[in-house]
Amino acid sequence: MSQGRDDAERQMRFIYALRSHGVTDPRVLAAMERIDRGAFVRGVFAARAYEDVPLPIACGQTISQPSVVGLMTQALAVSPRDKVLEVGTGSGYQAAILSQLARRVYTVDRHRRLVREANEVFAALGLTNITAFTADGSFGAPEQAPFDRILVTAAAEDPPGPLLAQLRVGGIMVLPVGQSDTVQVLIKVTRGETGFDYEELRSVRFVPLVEGIAQDD
Ligand code: SAH
């Protein structure tokens, strides 16, 4: 079979897996069709980039499962004029998907190396509306706040206060919360005029949100 047909078939399977897990928003599916997950997975795992599984990346972290990326992005209901904050850059894949749907994406990771490598991929793909930086993302990005949307891709016990404070009224934050590595639930927080509304979406498994900037890379 020709390379082109192999690629097309792989792409069809990738999109089919997303749909069968409930990713149905056409704009999210289109973004995930455009952004090549293979660009964000390095080394021996690159061959598995199109499978619907999480995979190891540098610094002992993981690139999330594509269907989970799709469901989180869908739950975030991003509009083209939105300014979005992602906490947990990791490989940069989720930020790249968001960059297709939002006006501007800020993404933060506590590992310098992950931020550097993600920036290389963003440049290679010509994604110019993403700013990646190294910091403890629990504190958000006060200089850029408020945000229309916030997505956290590491699990905390509770939604961090600074992130709630940096969410615009009418804004949405999606994040995994849980007290252990094994029992976590994805929640959607909507900020109203008078308070926050919480909705549980599904159970998930993410790496933990860790305090401080990593000193080992
Ligand atoms: N969204 C990523 C996957 C994230 S894995 C992707 O698309 O590939 C979770 C990431 O959260 C890891 O890279 C980890 O370093 C980061 N992280 C954990 N605690 C953090 C914190 N306090 N601030 C910023 N990043 C954090």
Shortest-distance atom of ligand 1 to CA 214? 15
Query: Region 141-154: what's the mean pLDDT?
Result: 98
Here the tokens at position 7 are 């690629």
Among 64, 67, 91, 138, the one annotated catalytic: 64
What pLDDT, on the 0 to 100 scale, is given for residue 104? 98
Share of residues in the chain with pLDDT > 70 (%): 99
Which residues does 125 contact at the CB level (< 8 Å), separation at least 6? 35, 36, 39, 96
Helix (H), strand (E) at residue 197: strand 196-204
Q: Is the CB of 25 under 6 A from ligand 1?
A: no
**Going from the N-terminus, what domains does the chain have, and what CATH number goes with each?**
2-204 (3.40.50.150)
Here the tokens at position 141 are 């990005």
89 vs 167: CA distance, rounded Å: 19
Query: Region 172-195: what's the mean pLDDT?
Result: 93
What pLDDT, on the 0 to 100 scale, is given for residue 3? 76
23 vs 26: CA distance, rounded Å: 9
Q: Is the CB of 73 under 6 A from ligand 1?
A: no
pLDDT class of 5 with cuts at 50, 70, 90:
confident
Residues listed for the chain: 217
Query: Region 25-33: what's the mean pLDDT?
Result: 98
Distance 86 CA to ligand 1 centre (A): 9
pLDDT at residue 1 is higher than 60: no
Q: Does this model's pTM top 0.85?
A: yes
138 assigned to active site: no
Query: Region 88-94: what's the mean pLDDT?
Result: 98
pLDDT at residue 58 is higher than 60: yes
What pLDDT, on the 0 to 100 scale, is given for residue 6? 85
217 vs 126: CA distance, rounded Å: 26
Tell me the one-letter amino acid at 115: V
- The overall average pLDDT reported for the chain is 95
Shortest-distance atom of ligand 1 to CA 111? 15
What pLDDT, on the 0 to 100 scale, is given for residue 126? 98
74 vs 19: CA distance, rounded Å: 12
Which DSSP string do the residues of 156-192 spell out, in sequence order? Answer: BSS--HHHHHTEEEEEEEEEEE-SSSS-EEEEEEEE-
Name the DSSP class of 126: T
Report the 10 Å Cβ neighbour count for 112.
16
Bond into 54 cis (ω within 30): no
Shortest-distance atom of ligand 1 to CA 86? 1
What pLDDT, on the 0 to 100 scale, is given for residue 173? 98
Task: Please indicate whether residue 12 or residue 180 has the higher confidence score (pLDDT).
Answer: 12
User: Which of 153, 186, 217 has the most ligand 1 atoms within 8 A of CB, as the residue to mutate?
Assistant: 153
